[in-house]
Amino acid sequence: MDNLFRFVSVRPAQKTEAKSVNLQGKTPFQDSVRAELNPNLPAPQKWTFVRDAAVKWMSGRDRKVVEDIKALIWHERYFKLRTVLSSPDADRNVKFIESAITKIFDNPSNKVVSMQQFREDLEAVRDSILLIFLLPNLHRLPLADLTAVAQAMEIIRLRGNGDLSLDGLAVDNLLRASITLPIDILPPNRGRIRPVGIGDLLVVKQHINRYELGEIVNIENILKGETRKKINKRVVTNERTVVLDSTTATETVSELVSNERFALKKESEKMVKEDITAKVGVSASAKYGAAEFSSNASLDYSNSKNDSKRVSSDYAKDVTSRASTKVAETIRVQQTTRIVEMVENEEGVSFDNTTGTDNVSGIYQWLNKVYTAQVFNYGRRLLFDIMVPEPAALILDAAKVTQKTNTPKAPTAFNIKPSELKVDIDSKDDPKYYDFFIKRYQVQGIEPPPRNTIIVAKSIGVGRDDKTTSRGVEVLIPDGYKAKRVYANGMYNIAPGEHNGMLVFVGDVKFEWQNREPFPPNNPTSGKFQDLEKEYITSIGVASHSWNAHDYAVTIQIECELTETAKEKWLLETHAKILAAYEQQLRDYEDDLVAARVEQPSSGPVGSNNPETNRMTERTELKRAAIQLLTQTELMSFNAITETQPDDDANSDSKLYPRPNTARAIQEGAYARFFEQAFEWEQMQYVFYPYFWARKDKWYEKATRTNTDPLYAEFLKAGQARVVVPTRLTMEPSVWYYLMTGFVWQGGDPPMVTDADYLSIAEEIKELSDAPGDELPYGPSWEITVPTSTIKLRNGENLEDVKWTLEEPWKWTPAPEGDDNE
């Protein structure tokens, strides 16, 4: 048989009539919990309270838990009863069951259930199973044996209470019954996500059944006594462009062969892909194919398996029907399509009816293939249907952070007037100090600010050999300055005489020294700075004269003050250079901003990435959100790396380096390993729902978002995403245990303990472990008619023979060819 396509039929768990063993009862541990438990607490808080009570119970001195099955008083008798009741040869009616109990326990069942030994064992078994369930660290206790004993004790209890419904089937169900929790202290925790139902992996297969004659293609008529010869010559020419720019002549010999064998398979797969494409998302996995939901998968449904068979068969028939129509369309198109070859075909046919006694007609008909198709069930998977709100929320937020990081930074605005620039060194801490702007805008070619005052010095003197005692010079004032004050200092040698002296004139200021006492060899003199009365801008005259002095030397210092014009000129020039540097930075920023906007669509988390990269991003984000919704915990708490000093010494110079925190790494590693292995994330299917399921303030942003990858664009715009992920085979009990308790089971097989609400799911999980590996037919088979391009000459020439019989509504059966139907 050939595989046509595969898909998954999702249905709720079949409503079960299976027996269960309830742990509720008056036991030491349960009674201690009931004594302190507030019955009005919500279910999640009750679970927390009971779990804390279990920890406290196990740490107490008077704890009572079965650590060895031999600690039970009648442990051997319980297992002996299981052996007797499991015998397939026994007539396991009520009488047989009662007889077995009486023989093994030396008392009838109604007395056994009231005996102290039985009650103590029952309390110990119930409390032990419940404690193991609540505390995964107790997984090494004999859970499987305790469960087997609990199932046997339930049979004794039911029979002891007068239950007459026990028979072989009921006993078998009880010997493999699920354990249910005491609902009064551990009510169903409906706050957690539960499985949506069971997914049946279905494969549609086909096998050739027969061939049938179809519609008439042609009729050849030869009259009586006629001889006719027909030669058909057909030349088909087609120009072909080859990459290698070469011409190839191909000679083809045509034979009457069929090439439609795989046509139906290809078209069926194409139909499934077209159905999937109609949904925005990845609605099929490579392993399981498309997911087809039958009934409301969030509820138990008593006829869910039958309903699933009906829906699955209808879906498979619909796909194959449309596929066969596609094949038919393809064949019809082939008759009118130009052959991409150069073919010269010549056929010669002779018709000779010269010896015939009547006219002859040859009827040619299309030949159709009839396949039988059947849906096969390859096993079941426990499926979770999770709605993820705004699946791209983190990616969009990360894009904003990346955009802020990569977006060019605008230069700080320069809005200072020239007169507001500070140039005094005392103002260096002022935000308007000119050097701040030079560094900020990286200004080049700035002259330092001119000093407010400068000293211009000039020396004049007369030697002993000079014939004159007077001197005069002109001192230039630097540009931008004006002479403000002057100072003269000098010395002269006294000549013989009664009166001596020296005069120095600087501008309109006179310095005079007279009648100095002789001090061999020299007579020093000094003066003070004096203000000039007039304004000297370009130059100032200096003159000196002495009498009764052999020689003299004078130094003149002229204190010049910066003019307002010069100061304003420097401020304007400096301001202009700073402004030019700022404007250049602003232009560079605007150019970088435009370049960043051009490059942005081709990079970053929301850019034009490779579609395969986008699929990985989608799956990773959906997986992260699904795990968070399943666990109802923030994944941000993971922190198994430490970067503290390796030494305790606070003054240690040891380098900080990241390394595992051993305790947290083991704990968090087990948690991560469980969720990575428990689900077949690689087979995850998802569909994106429109933006209006998101927060209202995000509507505009999502509705207008685009991307070169259409599917990724829908991911970014999605308001919700529907994620369907299967549980990995053999991991169903562990997943179920986590959903019940919020803990990862640490040991071997977890306890199949459940609540009454999801007993049907628990039974299906148990069936998954016992299911056979071979495929099984699923629903009725049906026929598919596929037209071929082959024709056949019909035996018989009467048109009355070419007819079809209507056997069922729109099921036509062609009449056989030949004379048998005359």
What sign does the dihedral 605-606-608-612 (CA atoms) show? positive
408-426 pLDDT, tens digit per residue, is 788 888 888 888 888 876 6
Q: Are residues 165 and 206 in the same domain?
A: no
How far is 525 from 492, CA to CA, in rounded Å? 8
Q: Are residues 477 and 511 in the same domain?
A: yes
Looking at residue 757, what is its pLDDT?
A: 56
How many domains does the structure of the chain reveal?
A: 3
- What CATH number is associated with residue 481? 2.60.120
Last residue of some domain: 530, 562, 594?
A: 562
Looking at residue 42, what is its pLDDT?
A: 85
Q: Are residues 356 and 457 in the same domain?
A: no
Looking at residue 731, what is its pLDDT?
A: 82
Q: Are residues 128 and 62 in the same domain?
A: yes
Residue 262 in domain = yes
How far is 622 from 638, CA to CA, in rounded Å? 19
Q: Sort 484 into a burial class: Cβ within 10 Å, 0-12 / 13-18 / 19+.
A: middle
Residue 433 in domain = no
Residue 709 in domain = yes
Q: Are residues 206 and 142 in the same domain?
A: no
Last residue of some domain: 176, 205, 234?
A: 176
End-to-end CA distance of the chain, in Å? 37
Q: Are residues 331 and 197 in the same domain?
A: yes
Q: Are residues 201 and 80 in the same domain?
A: no
Residue 10 in domain = yes
Residue 253 in domain = yes
Residues in contact with 517: Cβ distance below 8 Å, sequence separation at least 6, in sequence order: 523
Per the rule left: phi > 0, alpha: psi between -120 and 50, beta: everything else, 490 is beta
Q: Are residues 203 and 290 in the same domain?
A: yes
Q: Are residues 123 and 197 in the same domain?
A: no
Looking at residue 273, what is its pLDDT?
A: 55
pTM of the predicted structure, to 2 decimals = 0.58
Coil vs helix vs strand at 480: coil
How far is 130 from 29, CA to CA, in rounded Å? 9
Residues with pLDDT less than 70, the chain: 1, 11-18, 61-63, 189-191, 236-343, 345, 402-407, 425-427, 467-468, 497-498, 516-527, 597-608, 645-656, 747-748, 752, 754-774, 797-812, 817-822
Looking at residue 315, what is its pLDDT?
A: 64
Q: Are residues 774 and 703 in the same domain?
A: yes
Q: Are residues 154 and 296 in the same domain?
A: no
Residue 570 in domain = no
Domain of 255 in residue numbering reads as: 1-15+191-390+656-822
User: Which of 728, 105, 81 has the alpha carbon at shortest distance from 382?
Assistant: 728
Residue 425 in domain = no
Q: Let me know: does 113 contact 153? Beta carbons within 8 Å.
A: no
Q: Are residues 790 and 682 in the same domain?
A: yes
Residue 661 in domain = yes
Last residue of some domain: 176, 210, 229?
A: 176
